[in-house]
């Protein structure tokens, strides 16, 4: 998830570098501090790169809070809904495997953007 966040931040910085957007105080906070926003941006970039339809784009962008929560679960042992949860829980491991695949696609789309300018 941290790699996905960094890909989201990188995509925003590339757009700023190309002069499409300007870096102001609000955008600085967005790309350097807001973890959910970075995840959402990374997923949005993937959806655009993969030519997803608008409904699909909206759906995957809506996943950002859940993915950020999964990231937190990956760091800590906690007690949620009367149950102990750990980074080793099966559902979290499966989610991590899926997100690695998405993150690789996001990273590849950034590389293609960089090499085809």
Q: What is the DSSP letter of 44?
A: H
Q: What is the pLDDT of residues 79-94, one digit of tens each?
A: 988 999 888 888 888 8
Q: What is the DSSP letter of 34?
A: -
CA distance linking residue 80 with residue 103, whole number of Å = 27
Cβ atoms of 30 and 89 closer than 8 Å: no
Percent helix, strand and coil across the chain, each to the nearest 5: 75, 5, 20
Q: What is the pLDDT of residues 18-45, one digit of tens each?
A: 888 888 888 888 888 888 888 888 888 8
Query: For the chain, how many residues are written?
Result: 117
* Predicted TM-score of the model (pTM): 0.74
């Amino acid at each position: 998830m941290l790699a996905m966040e960094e890909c989201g931040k990188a995509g925003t910085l590339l757009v700023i570098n190309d002069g499409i957007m300007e870096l102001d105080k609000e955008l600085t906070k967005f790309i350097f501090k807001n973890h959910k926003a970075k995840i959402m941006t990374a997923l949005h970039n993937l959806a655009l790169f993969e030519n997803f339809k608008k409904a699909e784009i909206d759906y995957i962008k809506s996943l950002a809070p859940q993915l950020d929560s999964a990231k937190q679960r990956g760091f800590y042992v906690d007690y949620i809904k009367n149950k102990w949860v750990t980074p080793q829980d099966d559902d979290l491991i499966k989610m991590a495997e899926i997100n690695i695949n998405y993150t690789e696609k996001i990273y590849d789309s950034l590389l293609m953007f960089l090499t085809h300018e």
